[in-house]
Chains A and B, each alone.
Chain A
């Protein structure tokens, strides 16, 4: 072969691949930064209202939900749940929504499929960026939930195990993004919004956001069913790391489900993604 046209692969294969992967991350972060007002609002408005109504308005007007724990303000129960639900929703939606568009119509994703990178790396990149967005919105909601409460009813936060918090938060955000990759790959663009409504709403309403899982003991069947809800493990995981005074699921079960779910859901959704993009 003659080398008439100049450079083909830009640099050594490994560094070129790393640059290409980095470029995909850069692209998503640039789009995120540009759309931050919209994306940020979408992610933060719901938990903000949640915290405002349940942790501020209702205690202030005297119709408070019972925390089922003596001396524990409801805001303490709600904070981990609000942060967990925000992180889950953002992780899922931030991967699923753009992917639905990129895979349909004119297949916008082709510019990345033509990169000299294995197809699975594109899926991995989506999960990583989704997890970053999930972490960012979690970090925005956390101080809001900490600050919004009536006088004297501040949430009681006690991080006794930072390593646990980091593991829960990382595994949870990756799990959420992998779920987003799954739905973004299997759904088609017309059904996406209804899938979100049908799938995400029960997950958030029944994700132990407003109560610890243990409090469900009086509705045993619901307590068992909710064990299939990933958000339960995120809420309970954050309870275990932020509010250890509130009862939570055993640590081993939280870590097993978040860790295992993150690995299995990533493997499944990456495999499906590979099948979908190369017909």
Chain B
């Protein structure tokens, strides 16, 4: 039987403030087995970072319970901390220290003796192609280098569970591809990984399983293929008209295979299992209402269409 590395039960978190309360998590139940690369996919504000914050003990536990590597985050935060590594979204390096010292001291804060921490830091700087930047100030690093240093720092004390909070956010496309390669290599280390992202390709490329999250809840969970199937694996046809999308388009909802039609301003979006004949119907509807079609896009069943279907459903309910 596989061990569970991360488990959350009825996890809720509300931030109270003078300007009202924010329900960041509304009851999360999630299990991540040991050795899995798990993705948490959701738009900004979905609650992903709060979830990671609680699991890494940086955010105080609200209601519910969570265990990481068998340790309870509420009653044994010190135990949890010695088993987890974390990369945060924005670089939060110690700016008074050099690149190498950031690694060394992170190791020493975890109880490593100085010599051992320096040796491990040098090893990681080599592995992450940062050896020539060892004595640089952290603000002199490029975006991609800073992200690599963040991952290296999270690994210094050899954690069992690695939390990657949007590890490729804000870097250029080439640096993103390089980071994906690096993370794919890292998979071979056999840790348990929890990655958050709002980049669908990233989740699809790296993760064994994915949970789609929005408004503090998990909407669906499974492998990429399972999610596509669960979301109905629909093709989404989006037509853009020169003016307001004609009302006649709504009638397409009655067509065989079409599950629903959404009209927002100049755009009509049709969710369907088959796109046959749909394009001409959309064009003809425009012609009859004298608002010509200016653009038509067809999105084949993908994680993106699953994501849009699921988050769209949640918004409507």
Contact = CB atoms under 8 A, between A and B. Distances in A.
Interface of A: 1-2, 4-11, 15-17, 19-20, 23-24, 26-27, 30-31, 34-35, 98, 101, 106-108, 110-118, 278-279
Contacts of B58: 110, 113-114, 278
Select the residue from B88, B92, B159 with max chain A CB neighbours within 10 A. B92
Contact of A10 (B92, B96, B106, B113): B113
Interface string B83-94: 110101011111
Contact of A5 (B102, B111, B191): B191
The 9 A-B pairs with the shortest beta carbon distances in the complex, nearest first, are A16-B111, A23-B108, A115-B109, A106-B92, A10-B111, A116-B82, A9-B82, A31-B96, A6-B158
B78 A108 contact: no
Instruction: Classify the secondary structure of B's interface with A.
Output: loop
Select the residue from B88, B94, B191 with max chain A CB neighbours within 10 A. B94
B252 interface: no
A279 B109 contact: no
A86 B87 CA distance: 40
Contact of B108 (A9, A20, A101): A20
Given A1-B34, A279-B59, A279-B60, A19 B96 contact: no
B105 A27 contact: yes
B27 interface: no
Interface residues of B, number: 47
Select the residue from A98, A117, A118 with max chain B CB neighbours within 10 A. A117
B60 A278 contact: yes
A7 B158 contact: yes
B107 to A, nearest CB: 8
Interface string B30-68: 000010000000000000000001001111100000000
Given A10-B112, A23-B105, A23-B108, A108 B92 contact: yes
B182 interface: no
A24 B191 contact: no
A104 B240 CA distance: 45
Nearest to B59: A279
Select the residue from B59, B108, B111 with max chain A CB neighbours within 10 A. B111
7 contacts: A8-B83, A10-B111, A11-B111, A20-B108, A115-B110, A116-B110, A278-B60
A26 B108 contact: yes
Given A9-B111, A26-B108, A118 B158 contact: no
Nearest to A98: B96
A188 to B, nearest CB: 14
Given A1-B34, A111-B105, A113-B58, A106 B111 contact: no
A279 B96 CA distance: 25
Contacts of A11: 111, 113
Nearest to A19: B111
Nearest to A113: B58
Contacts of A9: 82, 110-111
Interface in B136-165: 153, 157-160
Nearest to B80: A116
Given A5-B191, A110-B88, A116-B82, 7 more contacts: A1-B70, A23-B105, A108-B94, A113-B58, A115-B110, A116-B81, A279-B15
Interface string B216-257: 000000000000000000000000000000000000000000
Contacts of A26: 105, 108
Contacts of A116: 78-79, 81-82, 110-111
B91 A106 contact: yes
A279 to B, nearest CB: 6
Contacts of B94: 27, 108, 111
A278 B62 CA distance: 12
B70 to A, nearest CB: 6
A10 B110 contact: yes
B91 A10 contact: no
Interface in B257-283: none
Nearest to A4: B190
A37 to B, nearest CB: 15
Contact of B90 (A2, A16, A98, A106): A106
A151 B14 CA distance: 69
Given A9-B82, A116-B81, A278-B59, A20 B109 contact: yes
A15 B112 CA distance: 10
B3 interface: yes
